[in-house]
Amino acid sequence: MAAWTWLLRAPTATELLLAALCWLGCYWLLRRLRAPPGLPPGPAPWPLVGNFAFALLPPPLLKSVFRLFVGSRLFVVLNTFGAVREALVQKAEVFSDRPSVPIVLMITRKKGVIFAPYGPVWKQQRKFSLSTLRHFGVGRHSLEPKIIEELKFIKEEMLKHGKDSFNPDTIIRNAVSNVICSMAFGRRFDYEDVEFKTMLKNMARALELSVNSYMILVNICPWLYYLPFGPFRELRKTELDITAFLKKIIAQHRDTLDAANPRDFIDMYFIHVEEEKNNKESSFNEDYLFFIIGDLFIAGTDTTSNTLLWCLLYMSLYPEVQEKVHAEIEAVLGHDKVPSLTHKAQMPFTEATIMEVQRMTAVVPLSIPRMASETAVLQGYTIPKGSVIVPNLWSVHRDPNIWEKPDEFQPSRFLDENGQLIKKEAFIPFGMGKRVCMGEQLAKMELFLIFASLMQSFTFLYPENAAKPSMEGRFGLTLAPCPFNIIALKK
Query: Which of the pair, 328 or 58, is modelled with greater confidence?
Result: 328
Neighbouring CB atoms inside 10 A of 305's CB total 27
382 strand-pairing partners: 377
Burial readout 130-148 (b: 16 or more C-beta within 10 A, e: otherwise)? bebbeebbbeeeebbebbe
pLDDT at 124 over 90: yes
For 96, list phi and psi in degrees, rounded to 5.
-110, 0
Decide if 203 contacts 298 (C-beta within 8 A). Answer: yes
* Edge-first strand listing for the sheet containing 388-391: 66-70, 73-78, 388-391, 370-371
Among residues of the chain, what percentage have pLDDT more than 90? Answer: 62
- Report d(CA 413, CA 352) in Å as an integer: 8
Residues 6+ positions from 248 with CB-CB distance below 8 Å: none
* Domain-embedded: residue 450: yes
Query: Helix or strand or coil: residue 487?
Result: strand
pLDDT at 40 over 90: no
pLDDT at 439 over 50: yes
* Residue 391 DSSP one-character state: E
Query: Which of the pair, 31 or 238, is modelled with greater confidence?
Result: 238
- What mean pLDDT do residues 102-111 have? 86
Count the alpha carbons within 13 Å of 170 in the hemisphere toward its beta carbon. Answer: 15
Among residues of the chain, what percentage have pLDDT more than 70? Answer: 88
* Domain-embedded: residue 42: no
- What mean pLDDT do residues 71-82 have? 88
pLDDT-based confidence at residue 3 (cuts at 50, 70, 90): very low
Query: Helix or strand or coil: residue 471?
Result: coil
- How, if at all, do strands 381-383 and 376-378 pair? antiparallel
The whole-number pLDDT of residue 22 equals: 59
Range scoring the smallest mean pLDDT among 5-9, 269-273, 339-343, 472-476: 5-9
The whole-number pLDDT of residue 58 equals: 45
The whole-number pLDDT of residue 307 equals: 97
Max CA separation in the chain (angstroms)? 90
Range scoring the smallest mean pLDDT among 320-324, 356-360, 391-395: 391-395
The whole-number pLDDT of residue 14 equals: 56
CA-only gyration radius of the chain, Å? 25
pLDDT at 62 over 60: no
* Domain-embedded: residue 228: yes
DSSP H helices in 422-466: 440-457
The whole-number pLDDT of residue 126 equals: 95
* Domain-embedded: residue 19: no
- What mean pLDDT do residues 207-215 have? 74
What is the value of pTM for the model shown? 0.88
Nearest to 313 by CA among 469, 152, 200: 469
pLDDT at 6 over 60: no
pLDDT at 17 over 80: no
* Domain-embedded: residue 94: yes
| CATH number of the domain within which 192 lies | 1.10.630.10
Domain residue limits at 431:
50-490
pLDDT-based confidence at residue 5 (cuts at 50, 70, 90): very low
The whole-number pLDDT of residue 100 equals: 85
DSSP character string of 213-263? HHHHHHTT-GGGGG-SSHHHHHHHHHHHHHHHHHHHHHHHHHHH--TTS--
Neighbouring CB atoms inside 10 A of 448's CB total 20
The whole-number pLDDT of residue 87 equals: 97
Over the stretch 138-156, which tens digit does the pLDDT of each residue have? Answer: 877 778 988 999 999 999 9
Query: Helix or strand or coil: residue 179?
Result: helix
pLDDT at 8 over 50: no
Nearest to 428 by CA among 480, 392, 459, 400: 392
Query: Helix or strand or coil: residue 362?
Result: coil
Nearest to 372 by CA among 74, 144, 57: 74
The whole-number pLDDT of residue 7 equals: 38
The whole-number pLDDT of residue 398 equals: 95
Query: Which of the pair, 100 or 379, is modelled with greater confidence?
Result: 379
Over the stretch 157-185, which tens digit does the pLDDT of each residue have? Answer: 999 999 999 999 999 999 999 999 999 99
Over the stretch 329-375, which tens digit does the pLDDT of each residue have? Answer: 999 999 889 999 999 999 999 999 999 999 999 999 989 999 999 99
* Domain-embedded: residue 338: yes
Query: Which of the pair, 214 or 62, is modelled with greater confidence?
Result: 214
The whole-number pLDDT of residue 18 equals: 58
* Domain-embedded: residue 409: yes
* Domain-embedded: residue 18: no
- Report d(CA 264, CA 483) in Å as an integer: 34
The whole-number pLDDT of residue 274 equals: 94
371 strand-pairing partners: 97, 388
50 strand-pairing partners: 46, 70
Amino acid 416 reads D
The whole-number pLDDT of residue 348 equals: 98
pLDDT at 2 over 80: no
Query: Helix or strand or coil: residue 477?
Result: coil
pLDDT at 1 over 60: no
Would you call 72 exposed, middle or buried from its count of C-beta atoms within 10 A (0-12, 13-18, 19+)?
middle
- How, if at all, do strands 381-383 and 487-490 pair? unpaired
The whole-number pLDDT of residue 143 equals: 86
* Residue 339 DSSP one-character state: P
The whole-number pLDDT of residue 20 equals: 52
The whole-number pLDDT of residue 346 equals: 96
**Counted domains in the chain:** 1
pLDDT at 24 over 70: no
